[in-house]
């Protein structure tokens, strides 16, 4: 993963998937989320993905206290400039990491859990989960290569999935009775 660094060598890029967004009178759009990696700086630049907007945190709060930065694992509230609350719904990702991308078609290696009892077939409706996103997808193609527990899948998603290259995502089949988690995907 590519990270940008400041002149003194500190990591300056970071990522926050949006858990919740709301409007505060006199402040504007505020989001809640957890810093998944890197550092978020007050007044730093963050890309709003999916989309092409850029925002800047006016303030960073952790447990109702103000801070100038937030680090991996911190639960944060960010008051944002240049965006409206309806532009940062649950699943939107705020990041300065240039490797973060979106995909609406995924061709990826899956690893199915040992308790999953049947091969995945073309035409099945699966769900893909990454960060705060859980998206419907249709299985377009399956290549088992002799081991149906490790198929290569081609999935078409209902909307863009935000992720980094080589991240893992959870693959789910919600129509499957008691067992709903099918396995994981290694994202392109």
On whether the CB atoms of residues 162 and 89 are closer than 8 A, the answer is no
For 145, what's the count of Cα atoms within 13 Å in the CB-facing half-sphere?
8
Kindly list the distances between the CA atom of residue 98 and the CA atoms of 31, 40, 92, 94, 131, in Å, as whole numbers in the listed order.
21, 14, 16, 11, 17
Q: What is the pLDDT of residues 60-115, one digit of tens each?
A: 999 999 999 999 999 999 999 999 999 999 999 999 999 999 999 999 999 999 98
Q: With H, G, I as helix, E, B as strand and everything else as coil, classify residue 61.
A: strand
Specify the fold of 101-186: Elongation Factor Tu (Ef-tu); domain 3 (2.40.30)
This prediction's pTM: 0.87
Q: What is the pLDDT of residue 4?
A: 43
- Report how far residue 108's alpha carbon sits from residue 152's, in angstroms, rounded to the nearest whole number: 6
Number of Cα atoms under 13 Å in the Cβ half of residue 94: 33
Question: 14-95: which CATH number, 3.50.50.60, 3.40.720.10, 2.40.30.10, 2.70.98.10?
Answer: 2.40.30.10
The mean-pLDDT minimum among 7-11, 23-27, 151-155, 163-167 falls in: 7-11
What percent of the chain lies above the pLDDT cut of 90? 85
The structure tokens 């709301």 sit at: 22
% of residues, the chain, pLDDT over 70? 93
| Domain pair 14-95 / 101-186, same fold | yes
Check residue 146 and give its pLDDT: 86
């Amino acid at each position: 993963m590519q990270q940008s660094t400041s002149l003194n060598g500190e990591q300056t890029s970071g990522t926050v998937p949006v858990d919740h967004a709301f409007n505060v009178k006199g402040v504007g759009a505020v989001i809640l989320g957890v810093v998944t990696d890197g550092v978020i700086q007050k007044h730093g630049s963050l890309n709003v993905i999916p989309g092409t907007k850029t925002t800047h945190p006016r303030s960073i709060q952790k447990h109702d206290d103000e801070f100038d930065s937030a680090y991996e694992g911190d639960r944060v509230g960010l008051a944002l400039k240049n965006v409206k609350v309806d532009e940062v719904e649950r699943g939107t990702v705020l990041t300065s990491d240039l490797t973060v991308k979106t995909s609406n078609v995924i061709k990826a290696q899956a690893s199915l859990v040992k308790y999953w009892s049947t091969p995945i077939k073309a035409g099945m409706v699966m769900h893909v989960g990454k960060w705060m996103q859980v998206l419907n997808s249709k299985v377009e193609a399956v290549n088992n290569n002799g081991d149906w527990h490790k198929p290569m899948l081609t999935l078409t998603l209902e909307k863009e999935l935000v992720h980094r290259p080589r991240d893992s995502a959870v693959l789910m089949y919600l129509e499957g009775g008691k067992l709903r988690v099918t396995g994981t995907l290694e994202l392109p």
